[in-house]
Structure 1
Amino acid sequence: MNRPKEDIEEQPTPSISDTSSQSPNKHGQSVSLENEDDLTRTKSAISIAETLSLYHEFGFVAIICMAQLMTQAGLGQCLSILHVIGDSFGLSNPGELSWLIAGYSLTVGTFILVAGRLGDLFGYKKMIIVGFSWFSLWSMVAGLSVYSNHVLFIFARVLQGIGPAILLPNSLGILGATYHPGPRKDMVFAFFGATAPVGSVFGSVFGGLFALTWWPWAFFSFALALVVCAVLGVVFIPNPPPKPLAKEPLRQKLRDLDIFGGLSGITALVLINFAWNQAPIVGWQRAYVFVTLMIGALLIPVFFYIELRVAPNPLIPFNALTTDVAFVLACVACGWACFGIWIYYIWQFFQVLRLGSPLLASAWISPVAISGVGAAVATGYLLSRIKPAWVMAMALTMFTVGAIIIATAPVDQSYWVQAFVCTVIMPWGMDMSFPAATVILSNTVAKKHQGIAASLVNTVVNYSISLALGFAGTIEVNVNNGGTTPEDGLIGFRSAWYLAIGLSGLGMVISIAFVLKSYRGDRRKTSGS
Structure 2
Amino acid sequence: MTALVDVVSEEKATPRKTNLTVALIVIAMAQLMIVLDGTIVNIATPHILTDLDFTQSSVQWVVTAYALSFGSLLLLGGRLGDLFGRRRMFVLGVAIFAIASLIGGIAPSGPLLLAARALQGAGAALASPAALALINTTFPAGKERNRAMAVYAAMSGAGAAVGLILGGLLTEADWRWTFFINVPIGLVVAALAPRVLIESEGSDGTLDVWGAVTGTVGLFGIVYGLSHAGQQGSSWGDFETLFPLIGGLVVVGIFVFVESRVKHPLLPLRILGDRTRAVSLFSMLLIGAGMFSMFFFLGLFIQQVLGYSPVKSGFSFLPFSVGIVAAAGIASNLAGRVDPRWLAGFGGVLTTAAMWGFTQLSTDSGYASHLLPWVLVMGFGMGFLFIPLTITATAGVKKDDSGAAASALNTAQQIGGAVGIAALTTVFTHFATQKGNELAVAGQAAMEKATAAGQTPTKGQIAEATHQAALQAQTFGSTHAFWYAAGMLLVGTLLVIGLLNIKHTDLAEEEAAVHVG
* TMscore range, shorter length: 0.7 to 0.9
Deviations 1:281-339 (A, max 9, x none): 14334312211111111112211111112x11111122355221101112211212111
SS at match of 1:161: helix
C-alpha contact (below 8 Å) 1:142/1:152 kept by paired residues: yes
C-alpha contact (below 8 Å) 2:137/2:199 kept by paired residues: no
Rate the CA distance shift 1:372–1:229 in 2: closer, same or farther, 3 A.
farther
> Comparing 161-170 with 99-108, which one deviates more in the overlay?
161-170
Give the AA of the match of 1:497. Answer: F
Q: 2:83 aligns with which of 118, 121, 131?
A: 121
* Residue in 2 that maps onto 1:287: 239
* Residue in 2 that maps onto 1:108: 70
Cα distance, 1:259 vs structure 2: 0.6
* Residue in 2 that maps onto 1:471: 423
Q: 1:272 aligns with which of 222, 229, 243?
A: 222
Distance 1:172 1:401 in 2: 33
Cα distance, 1:182 vs structure 2: 9.7
C-alpha contact (below 8 Å) 2:276/2:501 kept by paired residues: no
Give the AA of the match of 2:83. Answer: L
Alignment TM-score, normalising by the size of structure 1? 0.79
SS at match of 1:386: coil
C-alpha contact (below 8 Å) 2:354/2:374 kept by paired residues: yes
Rate the CA distance shift 1:212–1:414 in 2: closer, same or farther, 3 A.
closer
* Residue in 2 that maps onto 1:486: 471
* Residue in 2 that maps onto 1:3: none
Rate the CA distance shift 1:429–1:226 in 2: closer, same or farther, 3 A.
farther
C-alpha contact (below 8 Å) 2:279/2:500 kept by paired residues: no
Give the AA of the match of 1:273. Answer: V
Alignment TM-score, normalising by the size of structure 2? 0.81
* 1:141 is the counterpart of 2:103: yes
* Residue in 1 that maps onto 2:314: 362
Distance 1:392 1:62 in 2: 31
Distance 2:152 2:347 in 1: 16
* Residue in 2 that maps onto 1:131: 93
Q: 1:495 aligns with which of 475, 480, 483?
A: 480
Q: 2:269 aligns with which of 312, 318, 327?
A: 318
Rate the CA distance shift 1:60–1:317 in 2: closer, same or farther, 3 A.
same
Cα distance, 1:100 vs structure 2: 0.9
* 1:82 is the counterpart of 2:33: no
C-alpha contact (below 8 Å) 2:428/2:477 kept by paired residues: yes
Cα distance, 1:458 vs structure 2: 0.8
Q: Report the number of matched residues.
A: 460
* 1:203 is the counterpart of 2:153: no
Distance 2:398 2:483 in 1: 39
Query: Unaligned 5+ residue runs, structure 1?
Result: 1-20, 29-51
Cα distance, 1:511 vs structure 2: 0.8
Cα distance, 1:203 vs structure 2: 3.0
Give the AA of the match of 1:488. Answer: A
Distance 1:514 1:61 in 2: 38
Distance 2:148 2:347 in 1: 19
SS at match of 1:77: coil
Cα distance, 1:166 vs structure 2: 1.8
Rate the CA distance shift 1:436–1:236 in 2: closer, same or farther, 3 A.
farther
* Residue in 1 that maps onto 2:4: none
* Residue in 2 that maps onto 1:438: 390
Deviations 1:365-385 (A, max 9, x none): 122222232233333323344
Q: Give percent identity, aligned residues only.
A: 23
* Residue in 2 that maps onto 1:382: 334
SS at match of 1:111: helix
Distance 2:72 2:326 in 1: 30
C-alpha contact (below 8 Å) 2:210/2:258 kept by paired residues: yes
* Residue in 2 that maps onto 1:510: 495
C-alpha contact (below 8 Å) 2:41/2:164 kept by paired residues: yes
